């Protein structure tokens, strides 16, 4: 019942935001006021929720042309996962495996991992009654640093994957006007495009999926892109 009430409030907030086009600075300042209020009232669960919401919002409104590190991306994903746990409860489990802490310094565009994790939450695990798990791994493989996002959700058909890459191929307007995302407004096709532009290679991301088994997204970054 609590999760249902929270989802209703989130849906209502999303609708009101679209209707009134709330100024991002006003919304962020209001969130910070909520954090302070929850702290003064000793509402720890509400405080934790609002802090994560503020962190996700702050990261999502940053400029897309300023590079970040893998550590920045991971921290944003952790805050997002904690928000989703309020919505889905114990249905979502999250694991992080980083082979070497040096990999945290990989340079990349912002808002790469969150849209992928969103798809895992909403379209993968969210459609399974029993829930599931999202794993993020980072490791070295010869001259590449590999980042994997894997879930054991419902999976995708090959046609859907083909359409994602088809929409990303050569569509530079997508990088200017992102679409088809959830929280970010950024879809996976936009992620692919921005990675290709940033690293100047088409061989940067693959999607492997099996219906009823899950999905694995693999990002291959040149090893010299560590900060």
Structure tokens given for 126: 């969210």
Give the burial class of 106: count Cβ atoms within 10 A of its Cβ; 0-12 exposed, 13-18 middle, 19 or more buried.
Answer: buried
More confident residue, 166 or 155: 155
Q: Model pTM?
A: 0.79
Percentage of residues in the chain having pLDDT higher than 70: 81
C-alpha closest to that of 148 among 66, 74, 46? 74
- Separation of alpha carbons 9 and 191, rounded Å: 29
**174-200 confidence digits (pLDDT tens):** 444 444 455 555 788 889 989 998 999
Predicted pLDDT at 98: 96
Question: Cα 55 to chain center, whole Å?
Answer: 13
Structure tokens given for 168: 């990303």
Predicted pLDDT at 226: 63
- Separation of alpha carbons 108 and 87, rounded Å: 29
**84-134 confidence digits (pLDDT tens):** 888 888 889 999 999 999 999 999 999 999 999 998 988 889 888 888 999
Predicted pLDDT at 178: 46
Predicted pLDDT at 122: 85
């Amino acid at each position: 019942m609590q999760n249902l009430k929270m989802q209703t409030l989130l849906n209502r907030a999303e609708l009101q935001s679209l209707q009134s086009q709330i100024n991002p600075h006003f919304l962020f300042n209001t969130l910070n006021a909520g954090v302070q209020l929850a702290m003064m009232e000793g509402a720890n669960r509400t405080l934790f929720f609002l802090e994560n919401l503020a962190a996700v919002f702050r990261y999502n409104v940053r400029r897309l042309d300023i590079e970040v590190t893998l550590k920045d991306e991971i921290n944003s994903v952790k805050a997002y996962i904690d928000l989703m746990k309020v919505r889905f409860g114990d249905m979502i489990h999250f694991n992080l495996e980083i082979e070497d802490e040096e990999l945290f310094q990989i340079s990349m565009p912002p808002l790469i991992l969150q849209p992928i994790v969103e798809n895992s939450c909403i379209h993968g695990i969210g459609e399974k009654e029993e829930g599931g798990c999202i794993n993020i791994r980072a490791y070295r493989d010869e001259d590449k640093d590999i980042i994997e996002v894997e879930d054991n959700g419902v999976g995708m058909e090959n046609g859907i994957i083909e359409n994602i890459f088809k929409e990303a191929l050569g569509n530079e307007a997508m990088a200017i006007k992102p679409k088809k995302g959830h929280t970010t407004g950024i879809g996976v096709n936009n992620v692919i495009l921005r990675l290709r532009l940033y690293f100047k290679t088409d061989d940067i991301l693959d999607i492997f999926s099996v219906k009823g088994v899950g999905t694995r997204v693999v990002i291959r970054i040149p090893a010299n892109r560590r900060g």
